[in-house]
Chains A and B, each alone.
Chain A
Amino acid sequence: MNEYDIWIEKYRPKTFDEIIGQEAIVRKVKAFVETKRLPHLIFSGAPGTGKSSIALVIARSLYGESWRDNFLELNGSDARGIDTIRGEVKSFARTRSVGNFPYRIIFLDESDALTSEAQQALRRTMENFSNSCRFIFSANYSSKIIEPIQSRCVVFRFKPLSNDALKIVIKTVCDKEGLRLNDKVLEIILKVADGDVRTATNILQSAASLSKTISEENIFEATSYANPKEIEEILNSAVNGNFLKARELLLNLMIKQGIDGLEIVKQFQKNILDLNLDEKKKLSMIEKCGETEFRLVEGSDPFIQLQSLIASFSKLNGV
């Protein structure tokens, strides 16, 4: 292995046994593969929960080394034109698979990005080649896939990984790469990743490029995340009416650490719920965050908008 490997690919599971989490889904899919009876599938769920990985494992288990010849991966948001999809699907499906599994697999990633007309046409293609092809759709929201397609598929919902499962993944990567990190750092990674293996692995890799011993600072230096502790401090200062302190911390985050204004609002929104305040107040604060995010997207000065936001936090809390 060389040091330029991208870890999310390097540590992508190659067999069913290597998959961490999603136990119930893995058990079923494994049984489909073992009995060589594979229905069309829809994998729905948040990013980084193993949808693509499991699809790839299915291909490897069914076709062995020649899996690349029998597995077509298309992305719904790149290949938006249905003609591209059809063209590629057709030429791929025309030849049957060699080996003891008679179907080839078409994996359509981000299929919820397809328009419903494109899906109608795809449904037709699906039926056209049902004798030679199996489809696996992956989507963040399965409800964006039209009913006739859903009806023809087995639908699995992927949940964000539990912290225990994520810990196993993180530990594996650390052991293999010779990284060291303490429990506090681990907790931060878990919090930032929020059940997303891809994010967790990416954080590790970028932090590791700075030092093999990963510290809190490494993580925030290597990523565009602000330290949740500092975010909390800003919030607390604002709520207690200490505007100047809140503003200083804010400026520090934005200028010194170069964290994007939108990213900070996003973290505000995630952290506010954990504050020890009245629920209704918290809700109003979050609403303000939404308003600020909207104004930022409209293209206004981030620092002005964020100052206004923290000032409103003070006001909402009666200071």
Chain B
Amino acid sequence: MGYKMFKSVLESLDEIPQKEIVSLRNFVKDPGGKALMIIGKSGTGKTSSVYKLSEEIGYEVYELNASDFRDEESIKELVGRASKEGSLFKGRIILIDDIEGMSGREDRGGVGALSEIIKESRWPIIITATDGNEIYDKKFKTLRSKCRVIKFNPVNVLSVVKILKNVKERNNLKISEENLKEVARRSGGDVRAALNDFFSVSMDNDLSGMEWRDSKENIFNAMRIIFKSLDRKNIEMAFNNLDINLDEIPLWLEENLPLEYYGKELSDAFNAMSKADVFKGRIRKRQYYRLLVYVRMLLSLGIAFSKDKRSEGFVGYKRGQRLLKMWIMKNRYKEKYEVAEELSKYLHCSRKKVLKEVLPYFNIRNFKKEF
């Protein structure tokens, strides 16, 4: 990071609360011709763990990050050289930070060049990647197959609290216990964000004006208000403090609506959602964003007033399942797609035709093995 707001955030590798730290240690002892890829959300300790590890074992870190150009030539030149040479007295870890930030245009050929270097390297190569759609992209497929992949999870609240407590002590900060815990709770498992917030709070030990980093807790609250309450002012405000994409809200609502509503209520509420969706389509088509008001209103008031009386009792809400399922299906479909493309060359027909008329009679997995 470019600047340090606090000293001694982490004093050793063991202070990073990720259970895969063991795999990290093992990997450096014996890379076995592979690189290590650490995938994790922002602020889960990917880069930090590499630096702490290097301190622990007395290696130096050779880092290439998003601020360096990483096209084929530079990768071959810089990483290629660094992977072969090295100091006589000091070991070396090669760190390729934020690989998903490698842009298609400027860093052309970089990923391929990297894949080739891995096998030959004298030193352990560690690649970090922010968890998101990019890293599962096709262009990283070969690279991923040359890596041992480990995952860093979002850091749980208790562990964030522990880190913040250390920071507080080591930097002599005046922040109340209560505010410290609140910063941790709001962090959404992103320690860097928590530290940024902590720095901000350390100015005056006050939390007002600051955003929630975690949108999950927020959406739960919003749903509770919409499903349970009939107080218009409250319902209108439900989405106001919500730091979540408006496209995502229906996915949460649709998952949990049937847990709260039955019969006519349920039908009316879904009708409101369906109308909201029509408005969303119109916004997209016309680029007329004023209509968002109506999307919001239908999703909040529309659903809330589908019931006649306030509902009591506790219901545990769930995360929307559709996104995950869609993602899985998309990947499965992608496989089919690739096979169809390959086959179309041999069968003298379009990919579409192969998909529709040929593939249904084959078992794709067997087919792939043969190819």
Chain A residues within 8 Å of B, Cβ to Cβ: 22, 24-25, 27-28, 31-32, 35, 37, 39, 44, 117, 120-121, 123-124, 127-128, 130-131, 142-144, 147-148, 150-157, 262, 266, 269, 273, 279-280, 283, 286-287, 289-290, 293-294, 297-298
B341 to chain A: closest CB distance in Å? 25
Set of chain A residues within 8 Å of B3, measured between Cβ atoms: 39, 130
With contacts A283-B305, A293-B291 known, what are 15 further pairs, Cβ within 8 A?
A25-B209, A44-B211, A124-B103, A127-B67, A130-B3, A143-B243, A144-B245, A151-B42, A152-B192, A154-B200, A157-B210, A283-B297, A290-B294, A290-B297, A294-B288
Give the dominant DSSP class at A's interface: helix
Q: Are A294 and B291 in contact (CB under 8 A)?
A: yes
Query: Could you tell me the distance between the alpha carbons of A229 and B194 in the complex, rounded to whole angstroms?
Result: 48
A313 to chain B: closest CB distance in Å? 16
| Given contacts A39-B199, A123-B101, A127-B66, A157 and B211 within 8 Å (CB-CB) | yes
- Which single residue of chain B is at the shortest CB-CB distance from A262? B290
A sample of 23 cross-chain residue pairs with beta-carbon separation below 8 angstroms, ordered by A number, consists of A25-B209, A28-B200, A28-B209, A32-B203, A37-B5, A127-B2, A128-B66, A130-B1, A144-B245, A147-B190, A152-B1, A152-B192, A152-B196, A156-B210, A266-B290, A269-B294, A283-B297, A283-B301, A290-B297, A294-B282, A297-B286, A297-B288, A298-B286
Query: Could you tell me the distance between the alpha carbons of A87 and B253 in the complex, rounded to whole angstroms?
Result: 43
A297 to chain B: closest CB distance in Å? 5
Q: Are A153 and B196 in contact (CB under 8 A)?
A: yes
Query: Could you tell me the distance between the alpha carbons of A120 and B230 in the complex, rounded to whole angstroms?
Result: 42
Q: Are B290 and A39 in contact (CB under 8 A)?
A: no
| Given contacts A143-B215, A143-B243, A294-B279, A22 and B290 within 8 Å (CB-CB) | no
Interface residue tally for chain B (C-beta within 8 Å)? 52
Q: Does B144 contact A (CB under 8 A)?
A: no
Q: Are B286 and A124 in contact (CB under 8 A)?
A: no
Q: Which of A124, A155, A157, A287 contacts B101 (CB 8 A)?
A: A124
Q: Are A24 and B206 in contact (CB under 8 A)?
A: yes
Q: Does B208 contact A (CB under 8 A)?
A: yes
What are the interface flags for B117-152 relative to A under an 8 Å C-beta threshold, 1 for contact and 0 otherwise?
A: 000000000000010100000000000000000000
| Given contacts A31-B204, A156-B211, A297-B288, A286 and B245 within 8 Å (CB-CB) | no
Q: Are B199 and A154 in contact (CB under 8 A)?
A: yes
Q: Are A157 and B294 in contact (CB under 8 A)?
A: no
Set of chain B residues within 8 Å of A266, measured between Cβ atoms: 290
What are the interface flags for B177-210 relative to A under an 8 Å C-beta threshold, 1 for contact and 0 otherwise?
A: 0000000000000101100110110011010111
- Which single residue of chain B is at the shortest CB-CB distance from A294? B282
What are the interface flags for B5-32 relative to A under an 8 Å C-beta threshold, 1 for contact and 0 otherwise?
A: 1000000000000000000000000000
